[in-house]
Amino acid sequence: MTDQTTAARGDTRKAGFDRRLVPPMMLGSVLNPINSTIIAVALVPIGAAFGAPPSETAWLVSALYLATALGQPIVGRLIDIFGPRRLFLLSTSLVGVAGIVGALAPDLGVLIAARVLLGFGTCAGYPAAMALLRSEAKRTGQDSPAGVLTALAVANQTIAVVGPLLGGLLIGLGGWRSTFALNIPLSAVAVTLGALRLPEQPSTGAAARGRPAAQIDLPGMALFAAMLFSLLLFLMNLHAGSWYLPVITLAAGAGFTVRELRAETPFIDLRVLGGNAPLLATYGRALVAYVVSYAFLYGFTQWTEEGYGLSPFHAGLVQIPMFLVGIAVSVSVGRRSGVLGKLLLGAIGQIAACALMLTLTAGSPVWMLVLLAVVFGVPQGSNSLALQNSVYFQADPQRTASSAGLLRTFAYVGSMIASSATAASFGRRAGTSGMHHLAWIMLAAGVLYLLITVFDRSLRRLSADRAEGTPKA
């Protein structure tokens, strides 16, 4: 894109948010969730093709989570420095490469490597979208429209519904390899839209201040990676033989803290982050919210199959009302100002759903399972939108992308905790007593979420600022 074209476009879109940015933002942000959900229906045929047990095919899920949890804040920081365009184009190109590798994979090891590439390739979409929202707010002098933030949340929830259904269709037409090949055209469209529509100049102007490479804190990123990788591996394998993993986490965490406090341009500015209690509270809410959400997705679904006796197909159908209600809630509350109301709605919804979950038994009627999914849809739609909006308004504008990436990292840590809690509650079989044990853990997390929200006085000020349309300076 030439400077003249950019200038001309700036003149025509001067009045408000540039809607031309919405398609690449939306497509980039859903690349991760579509690959997170579509694999669910492909695990069994992949295991059959390579003679791999579930304990090995599970790494296809974990590999993407590990790569994404690690990569999002790192890629987000690079977006803060260099702007969204370069990182978006590079990452979405990597998605296409991963699709080719996965479609041609000769064994499970290569397939896992393809999922790692997918994890890193999908890291730029969401942070880039948040950075573009921030740059548009700065360009127009107006707060970015709530409708765009709502659209991002709705798009991710819609993919949660469509992903497994699309995966089943693709497998029926072309086998499990087609679920990887899907990334090739998605990548091509994303790269094309990004090249045509994303602005040339970086959103924050960080790179324009000179020596952008000097702003990349490689030692800090390496220590952060060691800390997070060892923590997630420990959460995925909670047993005595993994004692060394938390030791590595603590050592890397200590080194990371020392490095970031001394670095001239740290990867994560701990001084600023430590002084931003509202943002830290948002990250804490994200972690416990996703403990509840993913424990339901993992645990309740397993119980409906093994403890209640539904087929995998019917167990999946029971989940659909949750996603549909979540979409409806996001759309209905998305354009309303304020964050506190959305958080309280999500907190109450979580607690109500967990309490209802405790009443279920193997003899409960099917309509109670559907009712539980409907109730869980309320926090599913309200929490994700409120957390996303909170980070946008609470984060340092110069670190919007990396702050958004950290939100996803905390969410993935919550998902790993949920997975471990599910395994510990069920043991060898997903029975009703184990489901009730898991529900008590989820209820405790839900109450903690409510307490963090109620006692966070900054949310009232944030809601007032949103009502006045005042973006964070």
CATH of residue 189: 1.20.1250.20
Tell me the residue ranges of DSSP E strands in 70-177.
none
Are 402 and 262 in a shared domain? no
Question: Interior CA angle at 400 toward 395 and 401, to 5°?
Answer: 140
Residue 210, in any domain of the structure: no
User: Which residue range is the domain that position 126 belongs to?
Assistant: 16-202
Are 259 and 279 in a shared domain? no
Q: Report the pLDDT value the prediction gives residue 99, as an integer from 0 to 100.
A: 96
Secondary structure tally for the chain: helices H, strands E: 22, 0
Q: Report the pLDDT value the prediction gives residue 144, as an integer from 0 to 100.
A: 59
DSSP conformational letter for 396: -
Residue 7, in any domain of the structure: no
Are 182 and 304 in a shared domain? no
Tokens of 303: 């119980």
Are 234 and 356 in a shared domain? no
C-alpha closest to that of 339 among 375, 404, 393:
393
Q: Which amino acid is at 44?
A: V
Q: Which amino acid is at 362?
A: A
Are 198 and 223 in a shared domain? no
Q: Report the pLDDT value the prediction gives residue 11, as an integer from 0 to 100.
A: 45
Are 296 and 247 in a shared domain? no
Are 239 and 288 in a shared domain? no
Q: Are 400 and 416 in contact (CB under 8 A)?
A: no
Are 235 and 98 in a shared domain? no
In the chain, what's the furthest Cα-to-Cα distance?
69
Q: What total number of domains does the chain contain?
A: 3
User: Which contiguous run of DSSP H or E holds residue 460?
Assistant: helix 458-468
Tell me the C-alpha to C-alpha distance, in Å, between residue 375 and each of 42, 166, 293, 325: 28, 25, 12, 8
Tokens of 53: 């047990």
Residue 328, in any domain of the structure: yes
Q: Report the pLDDT value the prediction gives residue 417, as an integer from 0 to 100.
A: 85
Are 181 and 71 in a shared domain? yes
Residue 1, in any domain of the structure: no
Are 167 and 254 in a shared domain? no
Residue 316, in any domain of the structure: yes
Classify residue 387 by burial, with Cβ atoms within 10 Å: 0-12, 13-18, 19+: buried
Residue 4, in any domain of the structure: no
Are 173 and 34 in a shared domain? yes
For residues 244 and 230, give the distance between their C-alpha atoms in angstroms, rounded to a whole number: 9
For residues 396 and 369, give the distance between their C-alpha atoms in angstroms, rounded to a whole number: 42
C-alpha closest to that of 343 among 472, 459, 448, 464:
459
Q: Report the pLDDT value the prediction gives residue 211, as an integer from 0 to 100.
A: 57
One digit per residue, pLDDT tens: the chain, 473 residues? Answer: 444 444 444 444 455 678 888 889 889 888 988 898 788 778 878 888 998 876 678 788 888 888 888 888 888 888 988 889 999 999 999 999 999 999 999 999 999 999 999 999 999 988 888 888 888 877 776 665 667 777 777 787 777 667 777 887 888 888 899 999 999 999 999 999 999 988 875 444 444 455 555 578 888 889 988 998 888 888 877 777 888 999 999 999 999 999 988 888 888 888 878 788 899 999 999 999 999 988 887 788 778 877 888 876 777 778 788 888 988 888 888 767 678 889 999 999 999 999 999 999 999 999 999 999 999 999 988 998 889 888 888 888 888 888 888 888 898 888 878 877 887 888 777 789 999 999 999 999 999 999 999 998 888 877 555 554 444 43
Are 379 and 336 in a shared domain? yes
Residue 223, in any domain of the structure: yes
Tell me the C-alpha to C-alpha distance, in Å, between residue 93 and each of 9, 28, 121, 184, 372: 25, 11, 7, 9, 40
Residue 8, in any domain of the structure: no
For residues 294 and 418, give the distance between their C-alpha atoms in angstroms, rounded to a whole number: 6
Q: Report the pLDDT value the prediction gives residue 202, as an integer from 0 to 100.
A: 47
